[in-house]
């Protein structure tokens, strides 16, 4: 690397850091004026789940500020190229940064998703506050109860809350959510629809669906077990292909080292490597998960072995990919309960269990049956039109 190239890399990194600090302090000014709705999503999954609502609001002529907590979610939101919308990191939940955002961006309402209820933000919103897909676990509810006065003040500002599941709805009500603010139970992630774009011919040829499995959204601690399972399954299915998609692409170098240490050849999506001859394909990019679900006959939903609560089963189900998962599924308990009731997913406790499941699902028709069962189990008769009518009624009141 030349000195000039190194300086350019450092300069860009500094510029990103400065922009992040400015966003966190609420001192970024909008490019154009006008009133906006402030929608907040924690990270990629929450932001993607809100896409149908965001699209409807834009179609209704609303201008929006979208904030998120991670750089990867900023990149995802910006990649959509939405009109009338700007995406940036969320300000810290302190009076100064919050009020700057409210003032500079002319905020008229605030929509927040799932469990990201920030007191200062909610209490300072000049217009209605809405919570979509509100999630409140028993453990969180007990913690909130210790701050009963503050929680009641915060919930008093919420004009509309659509809980993710019946248990969350009950817990919000017990903590003081007004009856008139209680909306229908709606899991936004059930509204997921695959984005446009299919795998290109090269990818489709490299990854025959019935001989390809995906480890989706892996974390530190997942990959070693995934690679061990792949090695064990290869003894029975020598043509089996693995697509390994880390939750955070910035970990890609470390994951590549694990793959090499395990003795596998590796191709990386970010480098444009040819996947045809590689034993493991490292999907280390953002915004392309739909490609990997489309290619994989079987998906192991990661984050379910490592005390992270698991990740969404809705996206692999939308593609008819047979679902495997670990025991830690707290983030999507209701969805996985429906899958379990209908025998539409398989619980795997460790690498050995994962390898056994991969071998048991070697036949294409077995994969298809389990994938279709997952689609049926997670189908939700959510009326997006009815939900949007309720949202717009609150915004326009």
Q: Report domain extents, the chain.
A: 12-186+382-396, 201-378
Six-digit token pair at 289?
């998960």
* Residues 238, 232: Cα–Cα separation, whole Å: 10
- Residue 2, pLDDT > 60, answer no
Res 382: pLDDT: 63
- 74, 60, 70, 188: which is closest to 130 by C-alpha? 188
pTM of the model: 0.78
Res 32: pLDDT: 77
* Residues 322, 337: Cα–Cα separation, whole Å: 16
Res 15: pLDDT: 55
Those residues with Cβ within 8 angstroms of residue 271's Cβ, 6 or more apart along the chain or in another chain: none
Equal CATH topology for 12-186+382-396 and 201-378:
yes
Res 189: pLDDT: 83
Please state which CATH number belongs to domain 201-378: 3.40.50.2000
Using a pLDDT cut of 90, give the percent of the chain over it: 77
Residue that is written with structure tokens 């489709």 in the block: 204
Res 48: pLDDT: 87
Once rounded to an integer, what is the mean pLDDT over residues 379-386? 75
The partner residues of 37 in beta bridges, in order of sequence, read 64, 109
- Residue 10, pLDDT > 80, answer no
Cα atoms found within 13 Å of the Cα of residue 376, Cβ hemisphere only? 11
Res 173: pLDDT: 97
Query: Is the Cβ–Cβ distance between 75 and 46 less than 8 Å?
Result: no
Once rounded to an integer, what is the mean pLDDT over residues 2-26? 64
- Residue 46, pLDDT > 70, answer yes
- Residue 17, pLDDT > 90, answer no
Res 13: pLDDT: 47
- Residue 268, pLDDT > 90, answer yes
* Residues 249, 197: Cα–Cα separation, whole Å: 21
Task: Report the CATH architecture of 12-186+382-396.
Answer: 3-Layer(aba) Sandwich (3.40)
Using a pLDDT cut of 70, give the percent of the chain over it: 95
Res 384: pLDDT: 84
Query: Is the Cβ–Cβ distance between 141 and 175 less than 8 Å?
Result: yes
Res 3: pLDDT: 44
Q: Where are the beta strands (DSSP E) in the chain?
A: 36-40, 64-68, 85-89, 107-113, 129-134, 158-163, 212-218, 241-246, 266-268, 280-282, 298-301, 322-325, 346-347
Res 53: pLDDT: 95
Once rounded to an integer, what is the mean pLDDT over residues 304-326? 94
Those residues with Cβ within 8 angstroms of residue 232's Cβ, 6 or more apart along the chain or in another chain: 351, 352, 355
- 308, 307, 377, 306: which is closest to 346 by C-alpha? 377
Mean pLDDT over all residues of the chain? Answer: 92
In tens, the pLDDT along 97-152 reads 999 999 999 999 999 999 999 999 999 999 999 999 999 989 999 999 999 999 99
φ, ψ at 125 (rounded to 5°): -70, 125
Res 1: pLDDT: 44
Q: What share of the chain is helix, strand, coil (3-state, %, to 5)?
A: 50, 15, 35
């Amino acid at each position: 690397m030349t000195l000039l190239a190194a300086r350019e890399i450092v300069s860009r990194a500094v510029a990103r850091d400065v922009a992040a600090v400015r966003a966190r302090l609420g001192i970024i000014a909008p490019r154009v004026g006008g009133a906006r709705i402030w929608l907040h999503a924690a990270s990629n999954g929450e932001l993607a789940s809100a896409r149908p609502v965001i699209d409807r609001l834009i179609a209704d002529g609303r201008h929006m500020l979208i904030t998120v907590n991670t750089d990867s979610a900023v990149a995802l939101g910006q990649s959509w190229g939405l009109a009338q919308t700007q995406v940036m990191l969320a300000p810290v939940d302190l009076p100064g940064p919050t009020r700057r955002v409210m003032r500079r961006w002319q905020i008229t309402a605030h929509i927040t998703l799932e469990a990201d209820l920030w007191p200062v933000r909610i209490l300072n919103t000049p217009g209605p506050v809405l919570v979509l897909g509100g999630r409140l676990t028993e453990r969180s509810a007990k913690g909130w109860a210790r701050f009963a006065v503050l929680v009641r003040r915060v919930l008093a500002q919420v004009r509309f809350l659509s809980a993710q599941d019946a248990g969350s709805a009950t817990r919000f009500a017990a903590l003081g959510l007004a009856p008139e603010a209680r909306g229908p139970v709606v899991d936004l992630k059930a509204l997921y629809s695959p984005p446009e774009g299919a795998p290109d011919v090269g990818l489709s040829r490299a990854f025959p669906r019935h001989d390809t499995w995906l480890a989706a959204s892996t974390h530190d601690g997942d990959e070693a077990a995934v690679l061990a399972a792949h090695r064990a399954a290869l003894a029975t299915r020598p043509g089996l292909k693995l697509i390994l998609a880390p939750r955070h692409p910035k970990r890609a170098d470390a994951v590549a080292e694990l793959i090499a240490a395990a003795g596998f050849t590796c191709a990386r999506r970010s480098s444009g490597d040819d996947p045809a001859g590689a034993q493991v394909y490292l999907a280390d990019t953002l915004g392309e998960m739909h490609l990997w679900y489309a290619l994989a006959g079987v998906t192991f939903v990661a984050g379910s072995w490592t005390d992270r609560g698991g990740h969404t089963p809705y996206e692999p189900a939308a593609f008819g990919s047979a679902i495997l998962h670990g025991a830690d599924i707290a983030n999507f308990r209701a969805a996985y309960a429906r899958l379990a009731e209908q025998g539409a997913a398989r619980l795997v406790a460790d690498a050995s269990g994962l390898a056994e499941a991969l071998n048991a699902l070697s036949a294409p028709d077995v994969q298809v049956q389990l994938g279709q069962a997952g689609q049926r189990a997670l189908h939700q008769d959510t009326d997006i039109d009815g939900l949007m009518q309720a949202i717009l009624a609150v915004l326009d009141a």
